[in-house]
Amino acid sequence: MNHIGTKTIETSRLILRAFQAEDAEPMFRNWASDPEVTKYLTWPAHESAEESRKIVECWTGENSNPQNYQWAIELKEIHEPVGSISVVKMNENTESVTIGYCIGRSWWGQGITAEALQALIAFFFEEVHVNCVNACHDPRNPNSGKVMRKCGMTYEGTWRAGGVNNQGICDESWYSILKKDYEKCPENDGIWDRPYEAIENMDLTKFKWVREPESCTVGHDRIEIVTKPCTDLWQRTYYHFQNDNAPVLQMETEEKYFSFVVKTEFEESHRRFDQCGIVMYLDSENWLKGSIEYENENYQHLGSVVTNNGYSDWATTVISADVKAMWYRFSRREDDYCIENSEDGVIFHQMRICHMQKGDGKIRFGIYACSPEESSFRAVFSHMQMMDCMWKAHDGQQPD
Same-domain pairing of 223 and 357: yes
The candidate with the shortest Cα–Cα distance to 112, out of 155, 81, 88, is 81
The answer as to whether 392 is a domain residue is no
- Burial tier of 113 (Cβ tally within 10 Å: 0-12, 13-18, 19+): buried
- Burial tier of 92 (Cβ tally within 10 Å: 0-12, 13-18, 19+): exposed
Same-domain pairing of 342 and 324: yes
Same-domain pairing of 332 and 379: yes
Distance, in Å, from the CA atom of 18 to the CA atom of 16, rounded to the nearest integer, reads 7
The CATH number of residue 33's host domain is 3.40.630.30
The answer as to whether 399 is a domain residue is no
Q: What is the pLDDT of residue 357?
A: 96
Q: Across the strands, what pairs with 305?
A: 289, 314
Distance, in Å, from the CA atom of 382 to the CA atom of 225, rounded to the nearest integer, reads 12
Distance, in Å, from the CA atom of 371 to the CA atom of 325, rounded to the nearest integer, reads 17
The answer as to whether 52 is a domain residue is yes
Same-domain pairing of 163 and 229: no
Q: What is the pLDDT of residue 249?
A: 97
The answer as to whether 125 is a domain residue is yes
List, in order, residues 6 or more apart from 153 with CB less than 8 Å away: 133, 134, 135, 175, 176, 177
Same-domain pairing of 187 and 260: no
Same-domain pairing of 82 and 146: yes
Same-domain pairing of 117 and 217: no
Virtual CA dihedral for 9, 15, 21, 25, nearest 10 degrees? Answer: -150
Same-domain pairing of 270 and 350: yes
Q: What is the pLDDT of residue 199?
A: 36
Q: What is the pLDDT of residue 185?
A: 64
Give the three-state DSSP class for 372.
Answer: coil
The CATH number of residue 289's host domain is 2.60.120.200
Enclosing domain of residue 246:
204-387
List, in order, residues 6 or more apart from 67 with CB less than 8 Å away: 3, 5, 90
The answer as to whether 30 is a domain residue is yes
The answer as to whether 4 is a domain residue is no
In terms of DSSP H, where are the helices of the chain? 24-27, 35-38, 49-60, 112-123, 142-150, 179-183
The answer as to whether 400 is a domain residue is no
Distance, in Å, from the CA atom of 100 to the CA atom of 95, rounded to the nearest integer, reads 17
Same-domain pairing of 235 and 181: no
- Predicted model pTM: 0.56
C-alpha 231: how far from its chain's center? 32
The letter for the amino acid at 235 is Q
| 138, 170 Cβ separation under 8 angstroms | yes
Residue-wise pLDDT tens for the chain (400 aa)?
999 999 999 998 999 999 999 999 999 999 999 999 999 999 999 999 999 999 999 999 999 999 999 999 999 999 999 999 999 999 999 999 999 999 999 999 888 999 999 999 999 999 999 999 999 999 888 889 889 988 888 888 889 999 999 999 999 999 999 999 888 765 434 444 433 333 345 678 889 999 999 999 998 778 999 999 999 999 999 999 999 999 999 999 999 999 999 999 999 999 999 999 999 999 999 999 999 999 999 999 999 999 999 999 999 999 999 999 999 999 999 999 999 999 988 889 999 999 999 999 999 999 999 999 999 999 999 989 888 888 988 877 877 7
Q: What is the pLDDT of residue 195?
A: 36
Q: What is the pLDDT of residue 393?
A: 84
Q: What is the pLDDT of residue 399?
A: 73
* Number of folded domains that form the chain: 2
